[in-house]
Amino acid sequence: MRLHRNLVFAVIDALGMIFNDDAYADKVIEKVLRYDKRWGARDRGFIAETTYDIVRWKRLYAEIAEVYSPYSRQNLFRLFSVWCVLRGIPLPDWKQLEETPERRIKGRFDELSKIRKYRESIPDWMDALGEKALGGELWTKEIAALNTQANVILRTNTLKTTKQELQRLLKAEDIETEPISGAKDALQLVVRKNVFTTDAFKNGLFEVQDASSQLVAPFLEVAPGQRVIDACAGAGGKTLHLAALMENKGQLIAMDIYESKLKKLKVRTRRNGVHNVEGRVIDSTKVIKKSHHSADRLLLDAPCSGLGVLRRNPDSKWKLQPEFISKIKAVQADILSRYSKMVKPGGKMVYATCSILPEENGEQVKSFLASEVGADFTFEKERNIYASKHGFDGFYMALLSKKK
């Protein structure tokens, strides 16, 4: 691989913003990719993937290079040179990369790789929490799996096409895909590519959605004609899936505390040919109270630590704080207790997170069932999905039914 100066400089700029200014990696990458209109798909891919890679391995690389936050531009180049050496990429003779101690880098890597928190490049607190929550054996496998690059997975929009037809159309646009066992409507890209520029995407034939996330909507057992509430809908990844399973029939109410997210959902419903979604901003407790005992089905895709999706958001290893987990657990308990009242007798609800921590998952459901409101519900089933076992994002989902 030959390194191009302007692309590497863009990576260094991006790392500075992410590490020193606490900016979000996806937003920063979007910004630096606008630097030069002439960059092609490979150039853009290099910038995005190299930046994400160095973000993912920040702690390990910083320990190897012995550089610490806040990072000077020279030290960001040192992190970059560690990335090159460990990947066997020949170093160009630029002054920023002069005197890179290649043998020392390899030696430090071997030494630090013996210790999990360095090898997996995670903060001390996260390593201790993961081990306590999952036990050493599972945590060791799980954090290794969460450090791999996620595949690009699509969900066929069955309102507009079939999986086979989508596969054929994508092939005609030079995108090879393959089915995934266990996720009915999913297709996985054989080679990573930007799918958002395809006609198939613009025509609403698919959404990008991880295979684990695609298991949540079917878990709710929805049917056409029902009244379904998706109470933490966000930009609606699962709302769109629910609409497809409902065949566009019945009523689907998408709620969130952020209007901006529901606006994004509106754009997506149009592209997907979804007609049965109504957005409602939760701007007071009245919004929930008005819908008490009204829903055949309720999805609580709760806000969480996101520890199951570190592959997609490696910078949350550095942005997430233990205090946030305590706070979000209180929000999850509140959502379960207040929002569950929207389910009608005989109706069902799914509580889901993209976390792998039992305290956000099964333990939340257990304490809800032991509460006064939870006494109206019966536990039906749950799934704990681990990246190390299933190969996709870490997820949790539980199905509860309300007594008649």
Catalytic residues: 354
Distance of CA 122 to the CA centre of its chain: 18
Among the listed residues 282, 287, 369, 373, the single contact to ligand SAM using CB under 6 A: 282
328 touching ligand SAM, by CB under 6 A:
no
Nearer to ligand SAM (CB atom), residue 46 or residue 339:
339
Q: Which residues are annotated as a binding site for S-adenosyl-L-methionine?
A: 256, 283, 301
Instruction: Give the per-residue SS3 of 67-113.
Output: CCCCCCHHHHHHHHHHHHHHCCCCCCCCHHHCCCCHHHHHHHHHHHC
Closest CA to 52 of 80, 25, 34, 28: 25
336 touching ligand SAM, by CB under 6 A:
no
- What are the b/e assignments for 95-120, b being 16+ CB within 10 Å? ebbeebeeeebeebbeebeeebbbbb
Task: Find the shortest distance in angstroms from Cβ 283 to ligand SAM.
Answer: 11
296 touching ligand SAM, by CB under 6 A:
no
Computed over its alpha carbons, how large is the radius of gyration of the chain? 23
Residues of this chain, 237-256, that bind ligand SAM according to CB under 6 A: 237-238, 256
Return the biggest CA–CA distance within the chain: 74
**Pairing, β 377-385 against β 206-208:** unpaired
Counting every residue written for the chain, the total comes to 404
Rounded to whole angstroms, the Cα distance separating 394 from 154 reads 17
Under 8 Å between Cβ of 254 and 239 = yes
Cis? peptide before 70, omega within 30° of 0 = yes
298 touching ligand SAM, by CB under 6 A:
no
Among the listed residues 28, 205, 233, 309, the single contact to ligand SAM using CB under 6 A: 233
Nearer to ligand SAM (CB atom), residue 62 or residue 354:
354
Size of interface with ligand SAM, in residues (CB under 6 A): 17
143 touching ligand SAM, by CB under 6 A:
no
Nearer to ligand SAM (CB atom), residue 200 or residue 233:
233
Nearer to ligand SAM (CB atom), residue 152 or residue 231:
231
Task: Find the shortest distance in angstroms from Cβ 172 to ligand SAM.
Answer: 29
Task: Find the shortest distance in angstroms from Cβ 277 to ligand SAM.
Answer: 13
Task: Find the shortest distance in angstroms from Cβ 249 to ligand SAM.
Answer: 21
**Collapsed DSSP state (helix, strand, coil) of residue 274:** coil
Q: What is the CA angle 358-359-360, rounded to 5? A: 90
DSSP string, 250-317: SEEEEEES-HHHHHHHHHHHHHHT--SEEEEE--SHHHHHHTTT-EEEEEEE-----GGGTTT-TTHH
Nearer to ligand SAM (CB atom), residue 142 or residue 360:
360
Nearer to ligand SAM (CB atom), residue 234 or residue 279:
234
Task: Find the shortest distance in angstroms from Cβ 290 to ligand SAM.
Answer: 15
Residue tagged 């989902």 (tokens) = 397
281 touching ligand SAM, by CB under 6 A:
no
Residue tagged 């613009």 (tokens) = 202
**Collapsed DSSP state (helix, strand, coil) of residue 399:** strand
Among the listed residues 31, 261, 312, 383, the single contact to ligand SAM using CB under 6 A: 261
235 touching ligand SAM, by CB under 6 A:
yes
State the burial class of residue 383 (Cβ atoms within 10 Å of its Cβ: 0-12, 13-18, 19+). Answer: middle
Among the listed residues 54, 242, 335, 397, the single contact to ligand SAM using CB under 6 A: 335
Nearer to ligand SAM (CB atom), residue 54 or residue 350:
350
Q: Which residues are annotated as a binding site?
A: 256, 283, 301
13 touching ligand SAM, by CB under 6 A:
no
Distance of CA 96 to the CA centre of its chain: 35
Task: Find the shortest distance in angstroms from Cβ 109 to ligand SAM.
Answer: 35
Task: Find the shortest distance in angstroms from Cβ 342 to ligand SAM.
Answer: 12
Residues making contact with ligand SAM (CB under 6 A): 231-238, 256-258, 261, 282, 301, 303, 331, 335
